[in-house]
Amino acid sequence: MSNLLPDLQKFQNRIVSLRLISGDTIEGLLFPRPNNIFPGTVLINNINGTTEVAPDDIVSFTVIPFTYVTDSNFRLVSVIDTSTNTVIGSPIPVGETPTGIAITPNGLRAYVTNSDIISNTVSVINTSTNTVTGPPIPVGDGPVGIAITPDGGRVYVTNANANTVSVIDTFTNTVIGSPIPVGTSPRSFLQGIAITPDGSRAYVANFGDSTVSVIDTFTNTVIGSPIPTRIGAEPLGIAITPDGTRAYVTISNSDIVFVIDTSTNKEFALITVGDNPFGIAITPDGTRAYVTNEFSNTVSVINTSTNDVINNFIHVGLRPRGIAITPDGTRAYVTNFGDSTVSVINTSTNTVIGSPISGFGEPLGIAITPITF
């Protein structure tokens, strides 16, 4: 009810959906009050005009997701409004060669790896204003992959050229502890690190030695031996099911997805997909995994119950790499590195909807704000 106001205030000038005590829902632009206060009502503007809503009438609210896309060529991050599938505002300047991106669970900040040797930093974006906040955070050599713990307290960054992982405290936005040694070249471009839903472990795809390392996030040390994938394999992307029982790893040069049983950290299944599988994302309900096939220009869909491919031919743009799924699981957004666009997939029909979204240089990393209160 009214105790939602402090959270709601953070998303002024964003499109929100309010669920009311009457059972009704109202959606529109959340208008700011003078001096950023709500003296008695919440203002929502939509095609029907401006509506005043009493705070005690609000049961819950959802912020309509924004999609953030790194543009590695232009040192920018662009923002897509998922309600219209259009790029909004001006691109956000970050560091050299922005690659990976991850958003805090409360949706208020996006962390971006700037992988060029000139930078070797992580930029922090305030998603309320879509501006960079604070100075870039120095990390290791060649930061690429990035993931945030479920409690939002720490950011894990793979340093491809240093064979390490750096850990950032999100309260201070500083690196804590020493870099964690992992396998060779954890470069994996975008999605080469994933954290279990309970926050206890981070899985890192080591492109250079065909393994996956597992980090205990309590001690920030590697546990056990690296998990072998295949001799000569090049693991790239990694995603973990919402129940934490499986880790899905794309093996680019073998056209397979390697599945790890996280209870044993051993191979559970091998799944053949398209040519050069790159990025991977799993639906919020855990039933499907979506894989970008860079050289097939397609996306494959895996049934995670059977580990069978149920659709191998969703045609998107050229050289698809990054992929992210909306919090409600209804759409997947794909960065097409080869033709400077983003494709949108309807996950109910597994078909591309609308025209590709344009306005990028070399779109690479992608993340979507996950917000429900």
Residuewise pLDDT in 10s, the chain (373 residues): 457 777 777 787 778 888 899 988 888 888 766 544 455 678 888 878 888 888 888 888 888 889 999 998 889 999 999 989 999 999 999 999 999 999 999 888 999 999 987 889 999 999 888 999 999 999 999 999 999 999 999 999 999 999 999 999 999 999 999 999 998 877 656 679 999 999 999 999 999 899 999 999 999 999 999 999 988 888 999 999 999 999 999 998 889 999 999 999 999 999 999 999 999 999 999 999 999 999 999 999 999 999 999 988 899 999 999 999 999 999 999 999 999 999 999 999 999 999 999 999 999 999 999 766 6
Q: Are residues 147 and 117 in the same domain?
A: yes
What are the C-alpha distances in Å from 269 to residues 59, 257, 283, 305? 43, 8, 19, 11
pLDDT at residue 1, as a whole number: 42
Q: Which residues pair with 114 in a beta bridge?
A: 98, 121
- Domain C-terminal end among 62, 96, 114: 62
Q: Are residues 353 and 328 in the same domain?
A: yes
Token pair 């000139």: residue? 118
Q: Are residues 272 and 144 in the same domain?
A: yes
Residue of 111, 107, 113, 108 lying closest to 75 (CA atoms): 113
Indicate whether 335 belongs to any domain: yes
**CA geometry: angle at 9 spanning 43 and 68, to 5°?**
105
Indicate whether 226 belongs to any domain: yes
To 10 degrees, the CA torsion angle through 44, 86, 145, 311?
110
Indicate whether 153 belongs to any domain: yes
Indicate whether 249 belongs to any domain: yes
What CATH code is carried by the domain that includes residue 6? 2.30.30.100
Indicate whether 373 belongs to any domain: no
Q: Are residues 12 and 56 in the same domain?
A: yes
Q: What is the three-class DSSP state of 281? A: strand
Structure-token pair, residue 201: 């472990």
Q: Are residues 109 and 49 in the same domain?
A: no
pTM here? 0.90
Q: Which domain holds residue 332?
A: 65-368
- Domain C-terminal end among 17, 43, 62: 62
Indicate whether 69 belongs to any domain: yes
What CATH code is carried by the domain that includes residue 162? 2.130.10.10
Structure-token pair, residue 198: 């309970």
Q: How many domains does the chain have?
A: 2
Q: Are residues 56 and 164 in the same domain?
A: no
Q: Which residues contact 37 (CB under 8 A, 6 or more apart)?
A: none
Q: Are residues 174 and 302 in the same domain?
A: yes
With beta carbons less than 8 A apart as the criterion, state whether 185 and 160 touch. yes
Q: Are residues 184 and 55 in the same domain?
A: no
Structure-token pair, residue 106: 């409360």
Indicate whether 320 belongs to any domain: yes
Q: Are residues 229 and 343 in the same domain?
A: yes
Q: Are residues 30 and 112 in the same domain?
A: no
Q: In this structure, what are the phi and psi dihedrals at residue 232, rounded to the nearest 5 degrees?
A: 80, 0
Q: What is the three-class DSSP state of 8? A: helix
Q: Are residues 17 and 77 in the same domain?
A: no
Q: Are residues 28 and 74 in the same domain?
A: no
Indicate whether 150 belongs to any domain: yes
- Domain C-terminal end among 11, 28, 62: 62
Number of other CB atoms surrounding residue 46 within 10 Å: 12
Distance CA 64, CA 336 (A): 23
